[in-house]
Amino acid sequence: MAGSYNTCLLIDDNYIDNFITRKLLESSNFAKNVITCESPAYAIRLLASGSVKPDVIFLDIRMPNMTGFEFLDAYDKLDIDKEGTKIFLLSSSFDPTDMKRSSKNKYITYFIHKPLTHKILEELP
């Protein structure tokens, strides 16, 4: 695994996906704190206020009201320290356009197809 992190922010509109991924992250000791958000807009507010300072963000792409890519646009405009924060797209999308778009985004460290597993966590960069 890439290492044990202090804070991990999980952004996905699906409660069950968040629950399962959170349990996996906790059982893997991936991060000391795992914070879940079902709303990317709320996650932006948390980040902007400084309430959450994640080392790692797991981000879904397809969400209502604000997509993962729209989140990344809003994230880019935040006046916060982004240095050292890894963002992993965690999505069920196999759309080549999503994959190509993610490869061009400067904040995305890696694209992961759901579901997240222990094996994938161990292989993260």
Interval 21-33: pLDDT, tens: 999 999 999 999 9
Q: What is the mean pLDDT of the chain?
A: 93
Range with the poorest average pLDDT among 60-64, 96-100, 112-116, 117-121: 96-100
- Please state whether the predicted TM-score (pTM) of the whole model is above 0.75: yes
Report the length, in residues, of the chain: 125
pLDDT, tens digit, 9 for 90 and up, residues 42-78: 999 999 999 999 999 999 999 999 999 999 999 999 9
Share of the chain above pLDDT 70, in %: 98
Longest dimension (CA), the chain: 35
Domain that holds residue 79: 5-123
42 touches 71 (CB < 8 A)? no
Q: Residue 18's domain is classified under what CATH number? A: 3.40.50.2300
User: In the chain, how many domains are there?
Assistant: 1
For residue 30, what is the DSSP state? Answer: -
